[in-house]
Amino acid sequence: MIVSTLLGLIALVIGLIIDWPVLVLLSIIFTIVQLVMLAAKTAVERNDVKVAERLAAKQARHETRHQRD
């Protein structure tokens, strides 16, 4: 995903150098979409870690409660 974002930025620079507005516009849109996807992926990964921690704590409490019984 990072590689494709870098390719979009390279296309943006090339479009600016050769003065091709269509390439520049498409590169900007592509790069923005890639950055949004990267941010979403990071948010999902953080959420997965939090959910896994909560689940582990809940299981530990459950096991402790059953050991006392």
Give the DSSP H/E element, type plus range, for residue 6.
helix 2-17
This prediction's pTM: 0.66
Q: What is the mean pLDDT of residues 48-68?
A: 89
Q: Does residue 10 contact residue 2 with C-beta atoms inside 8 Å?
A: no
Number of domains in the chain: 1
Q: Give Cβ neighbours of residue 33 (< 8 Å, ≥ 6 apart).
A: none
Tell me the pLDDT tens digit for each residue of 6-56.
888 888 888 889 988 988 898 889 889 988 999 999 999 999 999 999 999
Residue with the bigger pLDDT between 7 and 67: it is 7
Q: Which domain holds residue 48?
A: 2-68
